[in-house]
């Protein structure tokens, strides 16, 4: 049995094992359901293309799999939401339409992002069939509608975990590891710097399978025994600003909130029956998961070679569940726009400034090699005042080797960039958004510093 979620210790439970979800090799899929009106939990079991509701299921010799108690605080206080049972949804297009209608009724975002959010909901119910995934983010000032977006879209996702219900960030690791659902998180809920750092760990490790977060803990005997927490899964985030880490920034599909007047038909206070409507949609999405899990995979035909590989990694999984050609085309356009923005930002980097200096020095008539000392001198003249630190040849040399992949060679006591290394300038200039000088050549590997006569 390929257990999809964490199984609690069975020693004191008389072989009754509480679980949330299970995907088994025999073709059986188990999902916990919760009826809030009757306050009952059970399992929806999918096997042989049909489903049943069960209070417990056989888990092997002397073992019974049971759902979590309906009186569990996480369930009773709606920190985590579940469907109440599978419901028929018609066809996929109709289901997406109902999801988008629900989002449109309570949230004011651009039409494209509205469609992206609807398909992201759909994707969240199939995400465990992929190895990478993107995050959704809304960004804006207080009062711009970020929280409403989180509550509305989050309520439809697969096992949404509302992080604002946690007093600190520390329970999130165990929640994600145990329930393997969709994290709904407002960065503003975690104001202490160390808590924000922990949130960033979750976001950095959570978009690709196989990168758990290690947290220190001691065994009963006091031995150091780090625990690996699985944090892979969909995430919907609200922030005021941007993250400094560009790799993390590239994992978000972002909507800027508060840039226009709120639509008049958006209710200021979300009505009570919205939760009932969300429950019915979760029920339909549960049946959609049963019928489609494992049938959707990352479609390599959707890879756009004109954009960064990192962007393809996060956009292709979502594109793979979208059946609307117009939305696919527009999402491809979003990926290309993100690529252009990343290239433009790179052009302002220290690396780009150094490349411009090397290009200028190497373009002088009769120049076949450029010394690191000359690069340092010209860089200091042009940009030295922009840096709080002293610009030294050692610092420039470190950037040349570690960030740009150059291999300065030592010649008569001076480190130089050889003609062979200078031939890599066109590719590097293209990567950093600078003008291309020559035809593309391979970069090669970074090796030890050679000695040149």
**In 160-186, which positions are buried (b, 16+ CB within 10 angstroms) versus exposed (e)?**
bbbbbbbeebeebbebbbbbbbbbbbb
Cα separation of 453 and 243, whole Å? 47
Distance of CA 260 to the CA centre of its chain: 27
pLDDT above 80 (res 107): yes
pLDDT of residue 62: 84
Classify strands 29-35 and 21-23 as parallel, antiparallel or unpaired.
antiparallel
Residue 51 has pLDDT above 70, yes or no: yes
Residue 389: exposure state from Cβ atoms within 10 A (0-12, 13-18, ≥19): exposed
pLDDT band at 207, cuts 50/70/90?
Answer: very high
Does the pLDDT at position 8 exceed 50?
Answer: no
pLDDT digits (tens, 9 = 90+) for 63-82: 899 999 999 999 999 999 99
pLDDT in tens, 275-318: 999 999 999 999 999 999 989 999 999 999 999 888 999 999 99
- Give the DSSP H/E element, type plus range, for residue 227: strand 227-229
**Helices of type H across 71-215:** 73-76, 92-106, 111-124, 146-154, 170-179, 193-205
CA distances from residue 143 to 71, 111, 259 in whole angstroms, order as listed = 34, 20, 11
Distance CA 198, CA 377 (A): 41
Q: Which of 40-44, 149-153, 318-322, 419-423 has the lowest mean pLDDT?
A: 419-423
Local structure of 448: helix, strand or coil: coil
- How do residues 370-382 score in pLDDT, each as one tens digit? 999 999 999 999 9
* pLDDT bucket at 184, cuts 50 / 70 / 90: very high
Tell me which residue of 246, 334, 342, 296 sits closest to 131, measured CA to CA: 296
3-state helix, strand, coil in the chain (%, to 5): 40, 15, 40
Least confident of 12-21, 139-148, 224-233: 12-21
Query: In the predicted model, is pLDDT for residue 449 greater than 70?
Result: no
Domain 350-452 class, CATH top level? mainly alpha
pTM of the predicted protein model: 0.78
Given the candidates 3.40.50.300, 3.30.420.40, 3.30.1180.10, 2.40.128.130, the CATH classification of the domain at 92-345 is 3.40.50.300
Distance separating alpha carbons of residues 68 and 41, to the nearest angstrom:
7
Residue ranges of domains in the chain = 16-74, 92-345, 350-452
Mean pLDDT of 97-126: 97
Q: What is the pLDDT of residue 12?
A: 44
């Amino acid at each position: 049995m390929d257990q999809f979620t964490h199984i609690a210790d069975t020693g004191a439970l008389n072989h009754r094992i509480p679980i949330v979800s299970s995907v088994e090799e025999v073709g059986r899929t188990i999902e916990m359901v919760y009826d809030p009106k009757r306050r009952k939990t059970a399992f929806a079991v999918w096997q042989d293309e049909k489903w049943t509701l069960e209070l417990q299921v056989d888990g092997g010799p002397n073992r019974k799999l049971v759902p979590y108690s309906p009186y569990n605080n996480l369930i009773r206080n709606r920190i985590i939401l579940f469907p109440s049972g599978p419901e028929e949804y018609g066809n996929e297009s109709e289901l997406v339409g109902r999801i988008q209608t629900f989002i449109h009724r309570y949230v004011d975002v651009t039409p494209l992002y509205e469609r992206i959010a609807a398909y992201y909901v759909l994707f969240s119910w199939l995400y465990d069939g992929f190895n990478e995934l993107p995050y959704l983010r809304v960004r804006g000032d207080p009062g711009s509608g970020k929280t409403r977006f989180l509550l509305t879209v989050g309520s439809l996702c697969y096992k949404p975990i509302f992080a604002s219900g946690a007093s600190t960030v520390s329970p999130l690791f165990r929640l994600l590891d145990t329930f393997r659902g969709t994290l709904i998180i407002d960065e503003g809920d975690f104001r202490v710097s160390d808590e924000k750092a922990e949130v960033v760990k979750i976001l950095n490790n959570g978009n690709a399978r196989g990168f758990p977060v290690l947290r220190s803990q001691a065994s009963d005997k006091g031995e150091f025994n780090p625990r690996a927490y699985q944090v892979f899964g969909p995430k919907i985030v609200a922030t005021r600003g941007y993250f400094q880490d560009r790799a993390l920034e590239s994992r978000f599909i972002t909507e800027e909130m508060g840039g226009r007047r709120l639509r008049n038909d958006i209710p200021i206070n979300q009505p009570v029956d919205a939760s009932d409507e969300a429950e019915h949609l979760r029920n339909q999405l549960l049946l959609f998961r049963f019928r489609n899990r494992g049938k959707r995979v990352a479609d390599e035909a959707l890879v756009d070679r004109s954009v960064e590989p990192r962007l393809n990694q996060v956009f292709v999984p979502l594109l793979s569940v979208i059946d609307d050609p117009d939305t696919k085309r527009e999402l491809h356009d979003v990926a290309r726009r993100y690529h252009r923005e990343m290239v433009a930002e790179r052009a302002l980097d220290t690396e780009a400034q150094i490349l411009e200096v090397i290009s200028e020095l190497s373009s002088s008539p009769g120049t076949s090699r450029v010394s690191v000392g000359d690069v340092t001198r010209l860089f200091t003249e042009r940009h030295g005042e922009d840096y709080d630190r002293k610009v030294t040849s050692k610092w420039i040399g470190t950037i040349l080797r570690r960030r740009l992949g150059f291999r300065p060679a030592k010649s008569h006591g001076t480190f130089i960039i050889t003609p062979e290394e200078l031939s890599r300038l066109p590719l590097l200039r293209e990567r950093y958004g600078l003008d291309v000088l020559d035809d593309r050549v391979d970069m090669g590997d970074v090796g030890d510093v050679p000695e040149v006569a």
